[in-house]
A and B are shown apart, each in its own frame.
Chain A
Amino acid sequence: MSKESRMRATVNQKLTEMGERERLKELLRAKLTECGWKDQMKAHCKEVIKEKGLEHVTVEDLVLEITPKGRALVPDSVKKELLHRIRAFLAQHAT
């Protein structure tokens, strides 16, 4: 594992241990709902389901279809805030 991925793993461990990961997830959920991202994704999912047909579509199909769009549509302000919070948390709990 590269140094970067090891660091990622350590950060993830710390966040999970302290329960911060769950809290950040909830915050992210709220932010993405507020800015309309969730509704956009929902609409896109409906389109994909229409395309592929309700009987044939799988969760995997949806994940593959909407992941790139979803990642691109996250507002910069949300990314900024999450990053800010993670930094603040790590600064607080530096070992």
Chain B
Amino acid sequence: MIATARVSLTATRTCPDNNKLVAVTTMSPAGCPHVNGFKVDNWKQNLRVIYQCFVWSGSAETRKRKAKSCICHMCGAHLNRLHSCLYCVFFACFAKKHIHEHAKSKRHNLAIDLLYGGIYCFMCQDYIYDKDMEQIAKEEQRKAWKMQGNTVLYRYTCVCVWEKYSTWEPTKRELELLRHNPKRRRITSNCTIGLRGLINLGNTCFMNCIVQALTHTPLLRDFFLSDRHKCEMQSNSCLVCEMSQLFQEFYSGHRSPHIPFRLLHLVWTHARHLAGYEQQDAHEFLIAALDVLHRHCKDDNGKKANNPNHCNCIIDQIFTGGLQSDVTCQVCHGVSTTIDPFWDISLDLPGSSTPFWPLSPGGDGSALNGESHTTGATTLTDCLRRFTRPEHLGSSAKIKCSGCHSYQESTKQLTMKKLPIVACFHLKRFEHSAKLRRKITTYVSFPLELDMTPFMASSKESRMNGQYQQTVDPFNNDNKYSLFAVVNHQGTLESGHYTTFIRQHKDQWFKCDDAIITKASIKDVLDSEGYLLFYHKQFLEYE
């Protein structure tokens, strides 16, 4: 098929047959003139069928057909970059030039790559980009992926995306915005964007330290910087909007400290118990802030969440985990299970008035997280083991057993049913019992990387089923976490000061002390006392 093409002589190729220079059209998004010969009759539907059956097979039926028929008609191989002729049913290798032979002999000048769906033109001797065909390709790929979605074995956790990950392509509006705003910021490893001090407005370090942790939570940062909050609140007292503004301030590139007076005012408005100029507890502020953000975010999903436990707002997606509580009756061994959502895990420390059972050294957990007990220091893992150990509830706290129909003694055990993307551990350093109010300053060592597998409900189940030697799957990365922020408290219960260590660019740490930001070493961070520890899941996948 010879098409009269407007040939631009700026591009030449060496024809492999006779080594002569051939003039060809330069590649453009409008495809090539040879493709027009294909675009006749019902070409769109025919092309779709080819994509569905031989490139991206979604259904079991098409997959079977693809498995059987996609082999080279000349040599039988299924490797070597198989291509299908667009004009007839002919599959052949590209690498071995079998498809080239077919194209020449039959004068069928177009073929499709069965691996990636690209269209090759033998006249132009290159892959072509035709807008219409690309559109069809994208749609078919999406369709096939959706069809496969139900049987995906590798569990993908959702982060506001429910389609297969594809590279970002700007919309018309976005292209406009990019053209009108030509200034670009380049993030190098030593750039300090995202770091900004916060002025203390009178004992407000309890708020500042949490703001530093939140503005350096990667997923939260991405959510706000991509403008995903569409506010539906009528008044201007939306805390989510204020958070969004805060992120703009932090990533603006300004180095002067920010004055968060609006944020403080909104916090006083929505969380009355935190109002006033006294020093407050940073942990309480964190929970109150997450709660208000969650409430204000609920408007984001269009439909108001009827069930507060199944909200899909960004706060829930990032911070909410599920804590499983199993109460086992000591008489009939029946287990009653409940699962409660949580935003943080509060851990008792040794030296508190609650009994901290002496734990035997070793055992699962500590070996996994690379800690040794030789130094005698309590570790985060010790605290987690204590948190998830079975607790005998005692004769004064009998539970009504549905199996025995009477009050019986029981044991209770907590485990993690579902881990949040960001896990916050709260070391209970402040004791407010009837007798005393004091701060527990015991040093607790915490790791840079944490594996939560031993504390999962699923691990407990396999232990109960007799699988004591749990084969740790080295390829299961679901429960691995990395430390990214540490909030510390210096001083006493009456007068103290909060600071935060935050992680930037993977391996750089900075200390945020109200308005002053200084570089810190990993040792500084790990040697610090630790009050609130923020860990982020290491591997995230798209759903």
Contacts and interface: CB of A to CB of B under 8 A. Distances in A.
Are chains A and B native binding partners rather than an unrelated pairing?
yes
Interface in A1-30: 1, 5, 8-9, 12-14, 16-20, 22-23, 26-27, 30
A27 B154 contact: yes
Interface residues of A, number: 26
Contacts of A27: 154
- Secondary structure class of chain B's binding surface, majority of residues: loop
Interface string A75-86: 000000100110
Contacts of B125: 58, 60
A59 B154 contact: no
A13 B154 contact: no
- Secondary structure class of chain A's binding surface, majority of residues: helix
B346 to A, nearest CB: 33
B67 A12 contact: yes
A93 interface: no
A71 interface: no
B126 A58 contact: yes
Nearest to B156: A26
Contacts of B539: 34
Contacts of A30: 541
A50 interface: no
Contact of A55 (B10, B67, B77): B10
A56 B541 contact: no
A88 to B, nearest CB: 10
Nearest to B539: A34
Contacts of B10: 55
A56 B12 contact: yes
B126 A60 contact: yes
A19 B148 CA distance: 8
A84 B475 contact: yes
Contact of A17 (B64, B79, B127): B64
B475 A81 contact: yes
Nearest to B124: A58
Contacts of A5: 77
Given A5-B77, A58-B125, A60-B126, 8 more contacts: A9-B78, A16-B70, A17-B63, A17-B64, A23-B153, A55-B11, A58-B13, A84-B475
> Top 10 nearest A-B pairs by Cβ distance?
A16-B67, A13-B67, A58-B126, A17-B67, A59-B127, A17-B64, A55-B11, A12-B78, A17-B63, A81-B475
